[in-house]
Structure 1
Amino acid sequence: MIKVVGLSFSFPQKELYDDISFTLEEGQHCAFIGTSGNGKSTLIDILMDPEKYLYEGKVEIDPTCKIGYVSQFSQLDKTKETTVFDYIGEAFIQIQNEIASICTEMETSSDLEPLFEKYQAALDAFDAIGGDDFESSINKKLNLANLMKLRDHKVSDLSGGEFKLIQVMKEMLRSPDVMIMDEPDVFLDFDNLNALKKLINAHKGILLVVTHNRYLLNHCFNKILHLENKELQEFDGRYMEYNFSLLQTKIELQELAVAEQEDIERNDAIINNLRAIATYNSEASRGRALKARVRYQERLEARRIKAPFVDIKQPKISFGMDNDLEDAIVVRVTNYRAGFDELLLDNVNFEIKATDKVAIIGPNGTGKTTLLRDIFKHNRDSIEIHAAAKVAYLSQIQDEVLKDSNTILEEFIEAGFKTYDEVRSYLSDYGFEGEIVDQKIASLSGGEKNLLQIAKVSASKANVLLLDEPTSHLDTYTQIALEKAIVDYKGAILMISHDFYSVVNGMDYVLIIDDKTIRKMSMRKFRQMIYASHFDRDYLEKEQNKRAVEMKIELALKDTHFELAKKLVDELEELIKLL
């Protein structure tokens, strides 16, 4: 359906792709992954409208191929008065109305030939999208996503997560040959994420989905496209199998690298010896031997292993703080209530101690962000903040914290850094190096903007962190680095997140929104609740066993114990088969 051959493309300030190739064929559900800012969304844009870009190489798309698209930045139109059913069925209803209009025109027209042609074209279009069964098809999709209850609701009443799912259904029901979705999972709660998983797995056409969500990656997709450092890697298989393949390659490459390093060091010793001899023996043969050895050394250096997909540089995220409040209560919420047109939260009571790490969990649209923002603003009598608490805030609405008109350098000078050199040095740990620091924030990807927010939070040295969907748009490598920083942090964290892995790997307990109020839940009960809803009964145990073996492999590689690493890889392969 789609074939890309030898594609190279650059913006004036950045080269994105260098001679990349891939295909999308019948039956493939493809995950498109890679670190933030490498050009995934731009590549999708090229596929959607190749004529808009000047590139080298070929983009071959079957002329009969119909492409569907769901954007990562879709906005809910609050003025839409249409029902969910009518919104999803818009294409069907439009063609139905066109057919009815043509029939009415036929009753009075004397020139029927062009009307017959229009009538047949409309019937063909209706048939192409399964028009005869469109009501049944819409109901099936709503049932699959457990959203049948919203069938007759107004679109304007939907939460952001519900609207995203409705958009996915609407586009799927148009029966495109290739369906492209750019981060459709962002900000979805657990139930809506599970619904998206079902929609993806039930879809019959070709799918290309940009996602960093580990739940979707582990439970959907039979092909991986991985874009990194201007190169693209194509892998037929599941994400877990792809990661396993990378790990095998990593062991082989590290073993080769150790052997090469030993060869280089031996050659260095020979060169040094020849140079020492040449200082007191000027025979031509000695000079030729030295030059030959130096050339051999240069060849060794040139063929050192380069693997852009194996060792990807993680940002060095670290949350420090200026003062430790020990066991003090840093946030206390008493009889809090919030609402706009309707009451969202009522009689909310909880307190956060100085070392508590807590996740707020609840469906989309239940007031979580409103609560977190009110705590940050500290403008309500129902909220108390410790006098010595220094609070930092990460917003899911990125322009609340970042100014799009600023360059990256300007943003951090305004945040309190003294010199541009100081900013450059600090941001290099987060992967912002070279010319990118002179770019406007508006030009960055969603993942890069979120990583900048994390860098600002880290620089604040706050002892209370309020994090609203901190993993949104982040690639998996950065998500893992963030999890480690959260675990290592000594202060208090109150975090809104729908990312299961971030919650279970870093939080002490959760606050569940239930019937417009909040109740505390232990991490053990939370795991049980989520696993009962979204996973097989023994999945947790298998996942934990897999993670334990992966950690043993990392330790074996650190000690260059390659034989042990290979034995552990065999053990890991059997665990992956069970998952």
Structure 2
Amino acid sequence: MIKINNLSYSLPQKDLYNNISFTLEEDQHCAFIGSSGSGKSTLIDIIMNPEDYMFDGSLEIDPNCKIGYVSQFPKLDKAKETTVFEYLCEDFNKLQNEITSICAEMETSSDMDALLEKYQEALDALDAKFGDDFESDLNKKLNLANLNNLKDSMISELSGGEFKLIQVIKEMLNRPNLMIMDEPDVFLDFENLNSLKNLINSYKGIMLVITHNRYLLNHCFNKIIHLENHVLQEFDGNYIDYNFTLLQTKIELQELSIADDEEIERNERIIKRLRDRAEVSGETAAGRYLKGKMKFLERLEARRIKTPFVEIKQPYIRLTTKNAVEEKTALKVNNYSVGFDEILLENVNFEIKSNDKVAIIGLNGTGKTTLLKDIYKNDNPAIEIDSDIEVAYLSQLQSEILNESNTILEEFLDAGFKTYDDVECYISNYDFEPELLNQKIESLSGGEKNILQLAKISASKANMLLLDEPTSHLDTYSQLALEEAIKKYNGAILMISHDYYSIINCVDYVLLIENKTIRKMNMKKFKKMIYAKYFDKDYLEIEQKKRELEMKIAISLRNTDFERAKALSEELEAVIKLL
């Protein structure tokens, strides 16, 4: 269906790909992974609209290939006065209406041959696009996604997560040969994440999905494409096998690479001694031996082990405070209520201390973001923030915090940095190269924008952070870096999250939104609820153990402790068998 050969493409500020190649064929559900900003979304744009890009190499797409697409940022039209059912039927109804219109023309027209041809073309288009069981297919997909109860709801009433699933269903109903989705899991609650998994696994065509979600990666794909450091790696198999193979490769290649480095250094020392001797003595034999050694060194460097997948970018995220605050009540919420057309939250009460780390959880559309924004604005009489507490906010709508028409440099100069050098020094910790400082924020990936938000709120040195889906769009390595930063942060954190691992690894307790109110829940009860309602207990605990071992292996490799890395790898292999 799709074949890419030796494709190279560069932006003004950086190279994205260097001679990458891969194919997508029948029945392949392919996960497209890689660090934030590596060019995954751009590559999808090239596949969707190749005529808009100047790239080297070739892109072959079967001329009969119909492509369906779900954007990273689908726009929900709040003014759209239509039900979910009507919205899903839009394209189908257009063709049906066209057929009805042709039939009406036939009653009065004398040119029946042309109309019959037009009628047959419309029937063929209807059959090719939807088949003869469209409504049955629609109902099956709504049931599969547990969204049948929304059939008669207005599109304008949907939460962002619900609308994302409806977008997936709408594209699937068009029966494309290739379904492309860019981070379809972002902002989905635990229930809707399971629904997305069911939809992906039920789909019969080819699929290419950008995702960083380990639950989907572990359960939905039979092919992996990994884009990293301008290079692409293709793997036929599931993500668990790929990730283990990658770790094994890292261990082997890094060991060989270090051995190569040592051999090259040893020969460089020999050459230096020979050069010094030749210069002093002028011996012809010494000169010939020197030339021989120099040629041998050139051969060593030419075959030197290249390890593009060993060094995967991980930003050093720091969340800092200006002053540590003694333990006290940082935030008090008394009898808070909010609603629009209907009540979302009613008579909510809770307190957060100055060193608490808390997650707000609840289904999509229950008022979590509205509450967090009201706390940040601090103009509601039901909300009281201690006078010693300074608040910073990370938004899931990144343009609320970042001026996307700014360059990175302008954004941080506006935030109080004095010079170019100050910004360059600070932002380099977050893996932004100097050449990116003059890049417009609007051109960054979703993950890069979130990293930029984290850098900006850390620079504020606030002692209470309000984080709305901070792990959204972040690659796995950035998620782990953020978890570490949250654990080390010396202040209060209130975050909305649907990421199970970020919650259990980072927070002291959760605030559960249920039945229009909030109740406090300790971590033991939270885990028990998740096991009962959403995910298998054994899977989650084994996956957590697997993740811990992978991190230990990464640390061992960083310390060039290959024996420990190999031992941990054997332990990891045993854990993977349990999955």
What TM-score, normalized to structure 2? 0.96
Residue 310 of structure 1: how far off its partner (Å): 2.5
Deviations 1:373-395 (A, max 9, x none): 12122212221212221222111
Which residue number in structure 2 is paired with residue 481 of structure 1? Answer: 481
Which residue number in structure 2 is paired with residue 504 of structure 1? Answer: 504
Question: Residues 92 and 131 of structure 1 are in contact (CA less than 8 Å); yes or no, is this contact kept in structure 2?
Answer: no
Deviations 1:176-227 (A, max 9, x none): 0001111111111111111111101111111111112222112211111111
Q: Residue 107 and residue 10 in structure 1: after superposition, are their counterparts in 2 closer, same or farther (change >3 A)?
A: same
Which residue number in structure 2 is paired with residue 109 of structure 1? Answer: 109
Matched, 1:454 2:454: yes
Question: Residues 218 and 239 of structure 1 are in contact (CA less than 8 Å); yes or no, is this contact kept in structure 2?
Answer: yes
Aligned counterparts, 1:21-36, within 5 A: 21-36=21-36
Tell me, in whole angstroms, the C-alpha distance in 2 between the residues paired with 1:412 and 1:102.
Answer: 60
Question: Residues 9 and 55 of structure 2 are in contact (CA less than 8 Å); yes or no, is this contact kept in structure 1?
Answer: yes
Matched, 1:532 2:532: yes
Which residue number in structure 2 is paired with residue 441 of structure 1? Answer: 441
Tell me, in whole angstroms, the C-alpha distance in 2 between the residues paired with 1:457 and 1:301.
Answer: 44
Residue 498 of structure 1: how far off its partner (Å): 1.4
Which residue number in structure 2 is paired with residue 66 of structure 1? Answer: 66
Which residue number in structure 1 is paired with residue 185 of structure 2? Answer: 185
Question: Residues 278 and 287 of structure 1 are in contact (CA less than 8 Å); yes or no, is this contact kept in structure 2?
Answer: yes
Tell me, in whole angstroms, the C-alpha distance in 2 between the residues paired with 1:563 and 1:283.
Answer: 46
**What is the aligned residue count?**
579
Which residue number in structure 1 is paired with residue 197 of structure 2? Answer: 197
Tell me, in whole angstroms, the C-alpha distance in 2 between the residues paired with 1:224 and 1:448.
Answer: 22
Aligned counterparts, 1:139-218, within 5 A: 139-218=139-218
Tell me, in whole angstroms, the C-alpha distance in 2 between the residues paired with 1:18 and 1:254.
Answer: 22
Matched, 1:399 2:399: yes
SS at match of 2:17: strand
Matched, 1:578 2:578: yes
Which residue number in structure 1 is paired with residue 322 of structure 2? Answer: 322
Tell me, in whole angstroms, the C-alpha distance in 2 between the residues paired with 1:259 and 1:375.
Answer: 56
Amino acid at match of 1:98: E
Residue 262 of structure 1: how far off its partner (Å): 2.8
% same residue? 68
Tell me, in whole angstroms, the C-alpha distance in 2 between the residues paired with 1:17 and 1:555.
Answer: 28
Tell me, in whole angstroms, the C-alpha distance in 2 between the residues paired with 1:46 and 1:115.
Answer: 38
Unmatched runs of 5 consecutive residues or more in structure 1 = none
Which residue number in structure 1 is paired with residue 514 of structure 2? Answer: 514
Matched, 1:541 2:541: yes
Residue 548 of structure 1: how far off its partner (Å): 4.4
Question: Residues 250 and 309 of structure 2 are in contact (CA less than 8 Å); yes or no, is this contact kept in structure 1?
Answer: no
Which residue number in structure 2 is paired with residue 86 of structure 1? Answer: 86
Q: Residue 305 and residue 354 in structure 1: after superposition, are their counterparts in 2 closer, same or farther (change >3 A)?
A: farther
Question: Residues 8 and 55 of structure 1 are in contact (CA less than 8 Å); yes or no, is this contact kept in structure 2?
Answer: yes
Q: Which moved more, 1:73-82 or 1:26-35?
A: 73-82
Residue 536 of structure 1: how far off its partner (Å): 2.4
SS at match of 1:44: helix
Deviations 1:520-555 (A, max 9, x none): 111121122222233224223322432344355345
Q: Residue 227 and residue 547 in structure 1: after superposition, are their counterparts in 2 closer, same or farther (change >3 A)?
A: closer
Which residue number in structure 1 is paired with residue 5 of structure 2? Answer: 5
Q: Residue 423 and residue 559 in structure 1: after superposition, are their counterparts in 2 closer, same or farther (change >3 A)?
A: closer
Residue 357 of structure 1: how far off its partner (Å): 0.8
Tell me, in whole angstroms, the C-alpha distance in 2 between the residues paired with 1:250 and 1:562.
Answer: 10
SS at match of 1:355: coil
Question: Residues 339 and 345 of structure 1 are in contact (CA less than 8 Å); yes or no, is this contact kept in structure 2?
Answer: yes
Q: Residue 131 and residue 213 in structure 1: after superposition, are their counterparts in 2 closer, same or farther (change >3 A)?
A: same
Tell me, in whole angstroms, the C-alpha distance in 1 between the residues paired with 2:337 and 2:184.
Answer: 31
Tell me, in whole angstroms, the C-alpha distance in 1 between the residues paired with 2:408 and 2:194.
Answer: 36
Tell me, in whole angstroms, the C-alpha distance in 2 between the residues paired with 1:459 and 1:295.
Answer: 51
Residue 174 of structure 1: how far off its partner (Å): 0.5
Question: Residues 274 and 286 of structure 1 are in contact (CA less than 8 Å); yes or no, is this contact kept in structure 2?
Answer: yes
Aligned counterparts, 1:372-451, within 5 A: 372-451=372-451
Matched, 1:359 2:359: yes
Residue 468 of structure 1: how far off its partner (Å): 0.9
Q: Which moved more, 1:497-506 or 1:198-207?
A: 497-506
Tell me, in whole angstroms, the C-alpha distance in 1 between the residues paired with 2:245 and 2:139.
Answer: 40
Matched, 1:249 2:249: yes
What TM-score, normalized to structure 1? 0.96
Q: Which moved more, 1:347-356 or 1:268-277?
A: 268-277
Question: Residues 212 and 474 of structure 2 are in contact (CA less than 8 Å); yes or no, is this contact kept in structure 1?
Answer: yes
Q: Residue 201 and residue 546 in structure 1: after superposition, are their counterparts in 2 closer, same or farther (change >3 A)?
A: same
Residue 14 of structure 1: how far off its partner (Å): 3.0
